[in-house]
Amino acid sequence: MAKQITDANFKELLNGDKPLVVDFWAEWCGPCKAIGPSIDELHAEYEGQVEIGKCNVDENIDLPVEFGIRSIPTILFFKGGEMIDKLIGAVGKDAIDAKIKALL
């Protein structure tokens, strides 16, 4: 399972030594549920290389506001503490994987 990313632990993960991928989602969001298994699979595939996690927008209000999340699912890609890229909407695993590979 992908790591739970919260308002409380985000800065620590962002400032870590690995790239960070954050999937902004909600329990009620159908497209979010559709890409959830891909996020979990990629978390397992890149374990130790990239931090991959999910931020529930209903439980964490600061991060979605900070990054202007207006549509979910939205996936943000960070490297060196900076946002490098993003994907919006229900995209395929291959598209997410390509963005992760670009971080490495």
> Which residue in 20, 21, 22, 29 is the catalytic one?
29
d(CA 41, CA 52): 10
32 is catalytic: yes
The three-state (H, E, C) secondary structure of 26-92, written as one string: CCCCHHHHHHHHHHHHHHHHCCCCCEEEEEECCCCCHHHHHCCCCCCCEEEEEECCEEEEEEECCCC
29 is catalytic: yes
d(CA 94, CA 1): 18
> Which residue in 5, 21, 32, 42 is the catalytic one?
32
Query: Which residues belong to the active site?
Result: 29, 32
